[in-house]
Amino acid sequence: MSNMKIIDIKTQDIRFPTSKDNLGTDAVHVDCDYSATYVTIFTDQKDLTGIGLTFTIGKGNDLCCTVIEYFKEFIIGKNIEEIEKDIASIWEKITNHSQLRWVGPQKGVTHLAAAAFFNAIWDLISKFHKKPLWRYIIELETRDLLDKLSFSYIDDVITKDEAAKIIDQKKSNLPSNLDDLNSTIFPAYTTAAGWLGYSDEKMKRLVEENLSKGWTHFKMKVGQDIERDIHRCKLVRELIGDNNKLMVDSNQIWSVNETIENIGKLKQFDILFYEEPTNPDDVLGFKKIKDAHPDINLATGEMIQNKVMFKQFIENKSLDYCQIDSCRIASINEILPVLLIASKFNTPVIPHAGGVGLCEYVQHLNLINKFIISNHELLLSEYAESCSEHFENPAIIKDGGYVTPTNPGYSVKIKDSSLNEFDYNNGTYWK
Ligand SMILES: [Mg+2]
């Protein structure tokens, strides 16, 4: 068992035709075909594979697949324990590849590809140890864990010593029997009712359905027409009453000035947070919006492209809710340092989810954050049941929260039947 070697890596361009039903539609993404750049790492033991993905919305998924071809040489022929030990240096080599970095660095297509690749490696390592990823991470010795992460370019804001203190303090509160954690239900909010392409009737029906299922937090898409946004916010607020929470997401469509003006019009609906109001790189623009409306909260992160940008947003207090994405930045190596920065600044983390596999991933990140990183009282995560029917073990929701996953790995194995049908190059659907 101890010498298991990586013998091959396969990458597949998987696309689900979700644009037919307006799933995922928002102010700027009007025709999403929810897609996955799907990576399978094969070992010389037939039943042990590492599976990972990154989420895209159609065209460009092929570009992520192409980039991953360049990463293969870094792990093929190595054994799993060697990769586990050297994962931090492999991460730095890949995300700072001497030629590929010119078309990055650490952003865009190359970084999405790195996310899929390292998500597959972390899946493989945790399966090798026969543990769900969250459990594997919280059981690592603190220094061992920190030595697997990347602190490059962020040590002006957090050092490994500071990170160790945060984790050790949290670990002191863990139960002596970690199996007790398996009964955790992690609170979630739903986006499934408020896609922008849905009619009033469809939205009303879905909100009512979700209310009856026990959801208490609802997010809706806004941003194409402020008068329609006001109409929809009024409709949903009336449906959910004053005690449930309402959030809005305009997916970057407004300028800073438009945001300031439109928030003024939407405030009357008691909005918990305004998500991605403007360009996701505009650290200072977000701050200007907050200065204009000191009583509102801003959320962003699904398109914050690396830990250096997160560092700026959090340290500058340009965001109030940190929406880490499991496939936008390059996997556990980079996500955990961002969670640690958020913890240091007492910023709540509400992970982005809803695309292909994102709910399956964030259920692990939520638990890692709750058990060994964050001290913030607010625990919340996004949930949107999109494409879950294609997963062998989809995230399970009970009483408006995520049920804790207990199968080994990082939870994103897609059914063979779905792979065969929706592979964009040779699947039966696309032929
Ligand atoms: Mg969003």
Tell whether omega for the bond before 105 is within 30 degrees of 0, i.e. cis: yes
Contact 53, 36 (CB under 8 A): yes
260-283 pLDDT, tens digit per residue, is 999 999 999 999 999 999 999 999
Are 217 and 297 in the same domain? yes
Instruction: Tell how far the Cα of 249 is from the centroid of ligand 1, in angstroms.
Output: 6
158 in any annotated domain: no
**What pLDDT sits at residue 87?**
98
Instruction: Tell how far the Cα of 352 is from the centroid of ligand 1, in angstroms.
Output: 7
Distance CA 170, CA 322 (A): 20
Distance CA 341, CA 306 (A): 13
Are 278 and 343 in the same domain? yes
Are 193 and 124 in the same domain? no
Contact 253, 224 (CB under 8 A): yes
- Residue 141 burial by CB count (10 A; 0-12/13-18/19+): exposed, middle or buried? exposed
Angstrom distances, CA of residue 347 to CA of 317, 344, 412: 9, 8, 28
Instruction: Give the mean pLDDT of the chain.
Output: 96
Are 258 and 314 in the same domain? yes
227 in any annotated domain: yes
Are 124 and 232 in the same domain? no
Are 183 and 84 in the same domain? no
Catalytic residues: 221, 352
**What pLDDT sits at residue 307?**
98
Give the containing element (helix H, strand E) for 189.
strand 185-194
Domain termination site, one of 132, 163, 195: 132
Are 64 and 211 in the same domain? no
Distance CA 70, CA 85 (A): 22
Contact 282, 260 (CB under 8 A): no
15 in any annotated domain: yes
Query: Residue 379 is part of a domain; what is its CATH number?
Result: 3.20.20.120
Are 253 and 313 in the same domain? yes
Residues with Cβ < 8 Å from 270, sequence gap 6 or more? 237, 242, 246
Instruction: Tell how far the Cα of 360 is from the centroid of ligand 1, in angstroms.
Output: 17
* Highest-pLDDT range among 75-84, 208-217, 220-229: 75-84
142 in any annotated domain: no
Q: Could you tell me the residue range of the domain that residue 81 belongs to?
A: 6-132
Are 212 and 272 in the same domain? yes
Q: Which residues have CB atoms below 5 A from the ion given as ligand 1? A: 249
Instruction: Tell how far the Cα of 175 is from the centroid of ligand 1, in angstroms.
Output: 35
Q: Is the pLDDT of residue 1 over 60?
A: no
302 in any annotated domain: yes
Q: Is the dihedral of CA 228, 205, 243, 25 positive or negative?
A: negative
Least confident of 66-80, 84-98, 219-233: 219-233
Query: How many structural domains compose the chain?
Result: 2
**What pLDDT sits at residue 23?**
74
Instruction: Tell how far the Cα of 361 is from the centroid of ligand 1, in angstroms.
Output: 16
Are 58 and 207 in the same domain? no
298 in any annotated domain: yes
Instruction: Tell how far the Cα of 261 is from the centroid of ligand 1, in angstroms.
Output: 20
296-306 pLDDT, tens digit per residue, is 999 999 999 99
Query: Residue 73 is part of a domain; what is its CATH number?
Result: 3.30.390.10
Instruction: Tell how far the Cα of 391 is from the centroid of ligand 1, in angstroms.
Output: 22
Are 194 and 293 in the same domain? yes
Query: Mean of the pLDDT values across residues 320-349?
Result: 98
Are 120 and 219 in the same domain? no
161 in any annotated domain: no
113-155 pLDDT, tens digit per residue, is 999 999 999 999 999 999 999 999 999 999 999 999 999 999 9
63 in any annotated domain: yes
Instruction: Tell how far the Cα of 241 is from the centroid of ligand 1, in angstroms.
Output: 23
Token look-up 């399956």 returns: 360
pLDDT band at 2 (very low <50, low <70, confident <90, very high): low
Q: Is the dihedral of CA 326, 332, 337, 340 positive or negative?
A: positive
